[in-house]
Amino acid sequence: MSWIVLIVSGVLEAVWATALGRSAGLTRLWPTVVFVVALVASMAGLAFAMREISTGTAYAVWVGIGAALTVLYAMAFGGDGFSLVKALLIVGLVGCVIGLKLVD
């Protein structure tokens, strides 16, 4: 259960990071609301997962999922250009997250 919560929390990290970028410095209402709700839910999920998963592993997985999804979203919808190097680095990041799960 902790791993599922951790993965969902990592997805929510990408949501709040994207919403923060769209909030224009927390001046736009709905992106700011999405940011706050996703941030609180993401942190709560991370805290829950850390009851059974070590801090280093949980944090690395949480950040890795959030970072990978944020970059993928930005490349698909945010105007960040796609490159083979970016794609390979994201694959490497996801591979590291999977590796951390396997060794835990």
- DSSP single-letter state for residue 1: -
Domain ranges of the chain: 2-103
The pLDDT of residue 104 is above 80? no
In angstroms, the CA 97 to CA 30 distance is 31
pTM: 0.91
Q: What pLDDT, in 10s, does the model give residues 70-100? A: 999 999 998 888 999 999 999 999 999 999 8
- DSSP single-letter state for residue 43: H
No. of helices (H) and no. of strands (E), the chain: 4, 0
From its phi and psi, is residue 37 left (phi > 0), alpha (psi between -120 and 50) or beta?
Answer: alpha
In angstroms, the CA 3 to CA 46 distance is 10
At 10 the pLDDT is 97
The pLDDT of residue 101 is above 90? no
Residue 66 neighbours by CB distance under 10 Å:
21
Q: What pLDDT, in 10s, does the model give residues 5-62? A: 999 999 999 999 999 999 999 999 999 999 999 999 999 999 999 999 999 999 999 9
